Amino acid sequence: MSSRRHFLQIAAAGAGAILVSPRIAFASVVTDRRFVFVIQRGAADGLNIVVPYAEPAYATLRGPLAIDTSNAQRLNGTFALHPSLAQIGAMYADSQALFVHAVASPYRDRSHFDGQNVLETGGAAPYRVRDGWLNRLAAQLPAARESAIAFAPTVPMALRGNAAVASYAPSGLPQAPDDLLMRVSQLYEQDAQLRPLWESAMTTRGLAGDAGARQDPASVGKLAASFLARDDGPRIAMIETGGWDTHSAQNGRLAAQLKALDTLLAALRDGMGAAWSKTTVLVATEFGRTAAANGTGGTDHGTGSVAMVLGGAVAGGRVIADWPGLAQRDLYEARDLKPTTSLDALIAGVASESLRLDPHRTARALFGQTLATNPLTGIVRA
């Protein structure tokens, strides 16, 4: 049986299904609305993404890392947007994007692995919960299909659990010829265990259509849209991005990261077509970075950061912030942006409103007793 499983993996890879970075994972549920979670692995620097230019201590703390906002988009009288986020800025101007600042999960110890586990599982502490909140979200809605397949060594933690999910990314290998695919289908026709897996693999391949093997940000956004925009496609997706750990040479690296994210999300928007009006995208990281620059042109692991919510369904054009300030007495442990908004509350509110679920019931399903505050609602248009 193990050799046949190995062959299945090889044949599926030839069908264009090797998962490579950045990863995209999907869940199919019965709804006409779409919800996408984009994780920024590595602790994205919220203070240089949505810049508190009017905060007196910002320039002093950041020194040469402070973003020059003279040519940046002013979001309001306090915050400006990093210049690399031109397309997201256009969405903000069209009331299709908003930002939630000084936000954090319950985690406070600044380890990437532990912080990402808390963010993805919705637990109060690392490794307390065995499944992911995005999988539990999918379980709140009727499944569109009974089975799915993950073309990857692992499915992202946020999507692990009882609800069926699929993951896909294009392969650089040549497409498998139709004759080979037909023969494999015949091979597994009478296999009760492997036939459903192969059929699901072929379904995912069909949804991908003619998606190419390029992994540039525009292609990744277009690929995700090619799944989500279809009438028979998935409705919940997760996109993993990495490279946000900017301990050194931060300004150039962060600018490149943000430009790539901006390009990816613009391609997703453009590829969704009319379905964009029913789409909500949440972008979040495991924790933020120190308020002050370090000695190597970067910042170290911190606490509070910024989350983005965008899409045609979003009631945007706002920055939501119970701003704590950056004076020494206002910092968390005298070093970090103090979190004043619960990321769990934001997730519960955005996810429930996006998919037309009851916010409090969704919050209990996703975060159980760990969510001490009410879901943050009023983010998605009714």
User: Domains, the chain, ranges and CATH?
Assistant: 19-174+210-370 (3.40.720)
The pLDDT value given to residue 324:
98
The pLDDT value given to residue 55:
95
Report cis status (omega within 30 of 0) of the bond before 56: no
The pLDDT value given to residue 181:
54
Q: Which of 2-6, 65-69, 143-147, 310-314 has the lowest mean pLDDT?
A: 2-6
Evaluate whether 238 touches 39 at the Cβ level (below 8 Å).
Answer: yes
Q: How far apart are CA 220 and CA 169, in angstroms?
A: 8
The pLDDT value given to residue 203:
56
CA dist 123 to 110, 113, 158, 363, Å? 16, 14, 11, 12
Q: How far apart are CA 181 and CA 198, in angstroms?
A: 10
Identify which has the larger pLDDT, 338 or 372: 338
The pLDDT value given to residue 357:
95
The pLDDT value given to residue 151:
34
User: Where does the pLDDT of residue 182 fall: very low under 50, low under 70, confident under 90, or very high at 90 and above?
Assistant: low
- pLDDT tens for residues 16-63? 332 235 678 778 888 899 999 999 999 999 999 999 999 999 999 999
Q: Answer whether residue 77 shows pLDDT above 80.
A: yes
User: Where does the pLDDT of residue 148 fall: very low under 50, low under 70, confident under 90, or very high at 90 and above?
Assistant: very low
Question: In terms of Cα–Cα distance, which of 288, 173, 164, 171 is closest to 234?
Answer: 164
CA dist 201 to 8, 64, 176, 332, Å? 10, 50, 13, 48
Residue whose token pair is 């950056």: 326
- pLDDT tens for residues 150-160? 334 468 899 99
Q: Which of 3-17, 37-51, 167-181 has the lowest mean pLDDT?
A: 3-17
Residue whose token pair is 């392969």: 171
Largest CA distance in the chain: 70
The pLDDT value given to residue 5:
41
Count the residues in the chain. 382
The pLDDT value given to residue 230:
87
Q: Answer whether residue 149 shows pLDDT above 60.
A: no
Q: What is the mean pLDDT of the chain?
A: 85
What contacts 357, CB < 8 A, 6 or more positions away? 140, 141, 351
The pLDDT value given to residue 227:
86
Q: How far apart are CA 331 and CA 372, in angstroms?
A: 22
Q: How far apart are CA 314 and CA 99, in angstroms?
A: 11
Q: Which two tokens stand for residue 362?
A: 């969704």
Q: Answer whether residue 225 shows pLDDT above 70.
A: yes
pTM for the model stands at: 0.84
Q: Answer whether residue 226 shows pLDDT above 60.
A: yes
SS (H, E, C) the chain: CHHHHHHHHHHHHHCCCCCCCCCEEEECECCCCEEEEEEECCCCCHHHCEECCCCHHHHHHHHHHCCCCCCCEECCCCCEECCCCHHHHHHHHCCCEEEEEEEECCCCCCCHHHHHHHHHHCCCCCCCCCCCHHHHHHCCCCECCCCCCECCCCCCHHHCCCCCCEECCCCCCCCCCHHHHHHHHHHCCCCCCHHHHHHHHHHHHHHHCCCCCCCCHHHHHHHHHHHHCCCCCCCEEEEEECCCCCCCCHHHHHHHHHHHHHHHHHHHHHHHHHHHHHEEEEEEECCCEECCCCCCCCCCECCCEEEEEECCCECCCEEECCCCCCCHHHCECCCECCCCEEHHHHHHHHHHHHHCCCHHHHHHHHHHHHCCCCCCCCCECC
Identify which has the larger pLDDT, 73 or 25: 73
Evaluate whether 42 touches 242 at the Cβ level (below 8 Å).
Answer: yes
- pLDDT tens for residues 80-121? 999 999 999 999 999 999 999 999 999 999 999 999 999 999
The pLDDT value given to residue 28:
81
Identify which has the larger pLDDT, 181 or 50: 50
**Contacts by 294-299, CB closer than 8 A, 24 or more apart:** 294/247, 296/247, 296/248, 296/249, 297/64, 297/65, 297/248, 297/249, 297/250, 297/251, 298/65, 298/246, 298/247, 298/248, 298/249, 298/250, 299/45, 299/65, 299/246, 299/247, 299/250
